[in-house]
Amino acid sequence: MYEYLKKAFLTSRQFCEESVGPLFDAFSERVVEIGFGNGDFLSYLTETRGEKTLILGLEVSAVCALKATKRLASLDSGNVRVILGDARYVLEKCVPSGSISTIYMNFPCPWPKNRHSTRRVTHGRFSGSLSRVLKGGGEFRLVTDEEWYAQEVREGLSANPLLDYVSFEVDPVLELTTKYASKWKAMGKSSYRLTMKKNREDRETHPEKMEGKMAMHCKLPLAEPAESRKQAEGLVGRKGAQGAFHWAFKSLYWSSEGNALLKTITSDEGFEQTFFFRLVFTETELLIKLEDAGAPLHTPSIRLAMDSIAGYFTEKP
């Protein structure tokens, strides 16, 4: 089980920085499921698509991702990868152009309130990412129980000249009836399937990565470590922004050695990450280091947040 998990389960950073090139070179066809939940449909794809097709599952929930990977381990298939991360970011920044045959999205959360609209996977630049990563003739298939959401996605994607509307089906016959789909059907609710197709072939190219190019630690000289530790408490609640990049420091946790973990939330053009900076105080210097647990992607907002911490200590009298 451990060896399978080690191979099949990837953080978004592992996928983007280490695995995407070798993986895509090893398979001639690739398909993606966004938000696979308990893994029903992902398992179905793995069993029916054949070993020559790479199956990628993108999921933001660590619990769902781990459960699905354990379930896939029973199939012992070498052609599936579970990626823990935001599909919007992974598609835009990591997946090669013109490389995906089909992208599935089954019953995503539509975030119905207007103030939550930016949380929808299909919000913002998703249309551009979709048209970039799909092959010519490749399809995007959305299944949802909310008609308004399917229509909204249809309108948004139809505005992209590279995407053609194919069909809008009410209560379609699905490849696999998942537990979620069965639940809604039993309640008498309809489901809707939207299919869009890319109308142009593109040469397969890898996007330029921003991750890994920035140092994720820095050191500052300290004259009075005890005073600096007191000053660190003032970081909590501070926020900052530079254009579309935002950061906020939420809480501070101290160790018995007098060092601290600073909980931080960042947003890069809508892509959010939660992680920790480690603050290590010595007699002569302060080390500010990105804590690697959770493998956050090295994005501009993280570097800006680190610079903000350094600036805070530098500017204090």
286-316 pLDDT, tens digit per residue, is 999 999 877 788 889 999 999 999 999 988 5
In the chain, where are the structural domains located? 2-198, 217-315
Question: Residue 209 has what pLDDT?
Answer: 54
Band of pLDDT at residue 206, cut at 50, 70 and 90: low
- Rounded distance between C-alpha atoms, residue 43 and residue 303, angstroms: 38
Q: Identify the bridge partners of residue 84 per DSSP, sorted by sequence position.
A: 11, 59
Amino acid identity, position 57:
G
Mean residue pLDDT of the chain comes to: 89
* Residue 152 region by backbone torsions, left for phi larger than 0, else alpha for psi between -120 and 50, else beta: alpha
Question: Residue 211 has what pLDDT?
Answer: 46
Residue 103: how many other CB atoms lie within 10 Å:
25
Q: Are 298 and 210 in contact (CB under 8 A)?
A: yes
Report the pLDDT averaged over residues 102-109: 93
Backbone angles phi, psi at 120, to 5 degrees: -65, 135
Q: What sign has the CA pseudo-torsion 136, 161, 128, 38?
A: negative
> What tens digit of pLDDT does each residue of 112-171 get?
777 767 767 887 789 999 999 999 999 999 999 999 999 999 999 999 999 999 999 999
> What tens digit of pLDDT does each residue of 213-224 get?
556 889 999 888
Question: Residue 238 has what pLDDT?
Answer: 97
- Rounded distance between C-alpha atoms, residue 59 and residue 70, angstroms: 14
pTM of the model: 0.78
Tokens of 69: 């990977």
- Rounded distance between C-alpha atoms, residue 97 and residue 284, angstroms: 49
Q: Are 1 and 9 in contact (CB under 8 A)?
A: no
Does the domain at 2-198 match CATH 3.30.450.190? Answer given as no
